[in-house]
Structure 1
């Protein structure tokens, strides 16, 4: 399990570095060079100190102090020059890493949001919305911290450790061995304590996502909570999520806070150990073992003590960054999981095009003619046929299941000729909305066929299919912007006049003109400043401006008062004129004039016919209509 986790983290690191390099192919390598240079320069004082002490030691023994001042000034000049270059490189890499970090986060947010637009409805239906939001907040923030702080610090500390280690071996291998013994102890402690901390930091990320998901859900449902006096229960549920986050965070930070003091004290003990070892080597006059060939002396031991502090301090820095790196990698993994989600598959090749009629034939054209056709290329002979868009929809022996083995719809067969109004009636869960979801190919059927104007909808590109079907849902969704913007959402190139005409058709023009700024009134928070009925009227106007030949009305008037319903019904009657319409309604009075009424029960069609035929049968519809049965 640990090996798999390590491999996953390694692959995430490699992928992240590759992405950053692709985003900034010049700036990223240059910043790395600056970081490496800065880290290497930090080890120079040890060499400087050794040379100065050796110079003073030689002058003390020889008694010749004449040349000491000049040589020390020479060394100081070199050191100052290096430090100036270090400052320049430090400023440079900090500025570049700030650009790289924010630019990378911007591109990742763009990738995530872009991928979300390609995901099927099923993804949104099966994932907590707050947890999805956590990708854009918590996970992005941990990634920011890792790229901007942890990664540079880790690189600096790692290079410093390596540089100091090389200098140590150059000066004295005996003392280097003494430091290595302490380093092994530090690494063992880091692995034991840091490993536990990393595990809980990952759990903390997941707990935070769940908590944010719960809070988002509670904010959306605040009115429901208050209506049913569910405040205390909501607080209790929140406390459970909050307690879970607290426990994971407590354990993660407990390990992290223990690690620092332990490593610091090991470093202090190591400092003393090196000092004692150096003293013993000096007193015992042990021959120095080194790459440099220098003899053992004060000029070796004193710089070694400083290098010990530097060496231990950098190892401590590496250990302290482990948690941030693990959290950042956990965030990166979640981000990549979203980016790698399988997009909605679309193998359709039949498209919707503008046409004009000449001598009884359909000719494709660029200009808007108000006449649409399905452009159907045939791979067998290379020909292209055009089928006029009329709104003829037929389902033949359709089966469907959300989950394997749990069939929702059984052998559904029905047809809706152009201009017909088909109503679905049945209890909640009978399959009414599911059928309309299948028409839009939000989900694909398990068996059977659905044809639009005689063409299997699996052959039609999803975007073109959905453009040919308008929807008015029970739950309205308005977006931040003006009333005009929200109506135009149905057809982005619609003129103001077309939007106003659609509003008049829906019966929304009257109340819109009474708003403070009319059609330019800003809508925020999903239309919180409008009544439910007004929001629904704008939603209907949005569907009307798209002017599709097929319309789905999913309980569009269920949230509207009786007076508003009469207004909306008149607008909907005008909207439905000449279109194929599928209506889902709990109020049976709204479906009396339907050409055919389909009665559903547990995913099966149990009755069909018009209002008079079904009343005459005195079956389920009759009992529902007369109140003998309830829909719920």
Structure 2
């Protein structure tokens, strides 16, 4: 919900004139020049195509601008010939040959203009897509190098917005707005030059009317931007409310808050209606005012031009050409003003993408040591770690022998999951050393280190695809026999075969077409297939029913056999057979030993175990 409010969509929603929403929602970049320079660096390898695009845009626009002048010459030739015949001047006649040549020249100009326009659009589309392709490649590679810390501290929607919306904004601007800006700029200069050639006096009238329209529209535009801002804000609130209500629909039903949810929807919807109505009204005034001033200028140019014609200072064809130019003059001016705002928003989007690319990466690995297949000896030696300035783990020392099952218990926030994150090298140590088979994990490549581990987490992760593909995710190039064997070992084969499509059953995006317990069995099958020497199990049975828990426990026992295993447990009854139990509190291992040894100590673990046992008996 917060992401919807923070990141309103750029571009139009069907409200107001083109560009109104862009002008309203555009973010201002913090460092315009620096970001622009960096973005231009992505265009540098395509400078040849960009040069051709620039020249094609100029030629296309010039040919278009010259068109009305040629048309004016043809009209003048027709008028003078016809007028001479009416007056009975000797030898006066309409020179259809000259008019035909002028019209053929005009057709040729428009044909060349269209050809150059097509060339610039085609080349610019390739430049834009190649640039966006490079950006996406760089961002994708960057995301792979970012530490887990970044993902923990950054909202998923924020990262997705930068990877999709912001890069799409850059691509759209490069493909559409950049060439439009070039053509608009050239059009303004060219039309101004042509109007000055025809009549400096009429040019002053046309420019004065344009300045008048800008002066009249500016205060309305400012107010309309405020109204569009209110509209976008309330639209974000409405979207967020709808998303919350539909996502948490069972909770709303369970607590009987339907009326309250509907009331809030109606209130926000009413606010959106009022804000949208005001925004529509304010933006709706702009075009009539511009048309009124434009028509007034049209009449004034026609009257003054007619007087100049009667005085013989300009021809009637020049008047027709000038009127065409005045009609064409307003559009590129408005486009240029709007594109300036679009470019500002694009630079802001590029800045957000570059901020992602500038994020601190994982510490570069040396990879000086190699581990073919770990025996499973793990040791923590004087380990210190903290997510910030304050240390969460201080001077931790643990020694685990190959094949041992190590259970990690403690209150919420004691540091159990943090210990696993350090073991997997998702975070770097502040001090100390973690060793596997005597090798410092920092001397191993991260890929080689993580290949030694298999993980079954409390939160199951399955992707949109077949059950077969989800299990095979644990091993590259797994055969059908290996997949089925892993599923059978995880006690998942039976339920898979009862599904209509069996192993070809496609899991939806949320994997909600199978139960939570079945999902957990699939993740265990995936871990079994990977056949790692060290296993990590994070409370894999906490959210399943008793019968499924028995199946999962059996699967996990088979999975942990002859492997070093780290088990994070909340139900202490499930880890009584562990070879070593680590009791954590505030980042420290305060007790360690077997279940019997810890109960005999009558300390923290005994209190924790007895409290759970008492609750079980009481229930």
The whole-number CA distance in structure 2 between the counterparts of 1:393 and 1:499 is 29
Q: How many residues align?
A: 584
Pairing 1:439-450 to 2, within 5 Å after superposition: 439-450=423-434
Q: Conserved in 1, the CA contact under 8 Å of 2:67 and 2:110?
A: no
Correspondence 1:600-615 to 2 at 5 A: 600-615=584-599
1:584 corresponds in structure 2 to 568
Report the Cα distance in structure 2 between the residues aligned to 1:238 and 1:84, rounded to whole angstroms.
Answer: 55
TM-score normalised according to structure 1 size: 0.78
In the alignment, is the contact (CA less than 8 A) between 2:71 and 2:103 conserved in 1? no
Gaps of at least 5 residues in structure 2 are 1-26
When residues 6 and 592 of structure 1 are mapped into structure 2, their CA distance, relative to the original with a 3 A threshold, is closer
Contact map agreement 2:78 2:99 (CA 8 A) in 1 = no
- Structure 2 CA distance for partners of 1:28 and 1:202, relative to 1, 3 Å: farther
Of stretches 48-57 and 36-45 in structure 1, the one that deviates more from structure 2 is: 48-57
> Which residue of structure 2 aligns with residue 381 of structure 1?
none
Alignment partner of 1:162 is 2:189: yes
Relative to 1, partners in 2 of residues 1:194 and 1:156: Cα closer, same or farther, differing over 3 Å?
A: farther
Q: Does 1:391 align with 2:376?
A: yes
CA distance in 1, matches of 2:355, 2:236: 15
In 1, distance between residues paired with 2:238 and 2:200?
A: 54
State the shift of 1:527 in Å. Answer: 2.4
Q: Is the 8 A contact 1:424 1:599 kept in 2?
A: yes
Structure 1 window deviating more from structure 2 (548-557 vs 253-262): it is 253-262
1:142-157 residue pairs with structure 2 within 5 A? 142-143=169-170, 145-157=172-184
Residue 42 of structure 2 corresponds to 19
Q: Find the aligned partners of 2:451 and 2:266 in 1 and give their Cα distance.
A: 45
What is the alpha-carbon distance in structure 2 between the residues aligned to residue 214 and residue 323 of structure 1?
Answer: 30
* Aligned counterparts, 1:443-458, within 5 A: 443-458=427-442
In structure 2, relative to structure 1, the CA distance for the partners of 1:14 and 1:226 (3 Å cut) is farther
**Residues 228 and 279 in structure 2, CA contact (< 8 A), matched pair in contact too:** yes
Q: Distance in 2 between matches of 1:179 and 1:234?
A: 56
Judge which range, 163-172 or 472-481, deviates more.
163-172
Q: Equivalent residue for 1:117?
A: 144
- After TM superposition, the structure 1 = structure 2 runs for residues 534-549 of structure 1, keeping only pairs within 5 Å, are 534-549=518-533
Q: Partners in 1 of 2:357 and 2:274 — Cα distance?
A: 30
Map residues 424-463 of structure 1 onto 2, 5 A cutoff: 424-463=408-447
Higher strand share: 1
The 1:500/1:207 distance shift into structure 2, 3 A limit, reads farther
Pair 1:83-2:106 in alignment: no
CA distance in 2, matches of 1:464, 1:517: 36
Aligned partner of 2:15 in structure 1 is none
Counterparts of residues 614-625 of structure 1 (less than 5 Å): 614-625=598-609
The match for 1:312 is 330
Cα RMSD, aligned residues only? 4.1
Q: Higher helix share goes to which structure?
A: 2
Aligned pairs (5 A) from 1:120-135: 120-135=147-162
Deviation at 1:238, TM superposition (A): 7.7
**Local SS of the residue matching 2:450:** helix
Q: 1:215 Cα deviation (Å)?
A: 6.8
**1:473–1:334 CA distance, 2 compared to 1 (3 A):** same
The equivalent residue for 2:63 is 41
Deviation, structure 1 residue 538: 1.0
Q: Provide Cα deviations, 1:130-159, integer angstroms capped at 9, x if missing partner.
A: 344444554455445434443333332222
Partner Cα separation in structure 2 for residue 346 and residue 394 of structure 1: 23
In structure 2, how many angstroms separate the alpha carbons of the residues matched to 1:43 and 1:149?
21
Tell me, in whole angstroms, the C-alpha distance in 2 between the residues paired with 1:7 and 1:37. 36
Give the SS at the match of 1:412.
strand
Is the contact between residue 178 and residue 274 of structure 1 (CA under 8 Å) also seen in structure 2? yes
Provide closer, same or farther for how the CA distance between residues 603 and 185 of structure 1 changes in structure 2, counting only shifts above 3 A. Answer: farther
5 Å-filtered alignment, 1:225-240, equals: none
Shift of 1:623: 1.4
Give secondary structure in 1 for the equivalent of 2:407: strand
Task: Return the offset for 1:602.
Answer: 2.6
Offset of 1:532 from its aligned partner?
Answer: 1.1
TM-score computed with the length of structure 2 as normaliser = 0.80
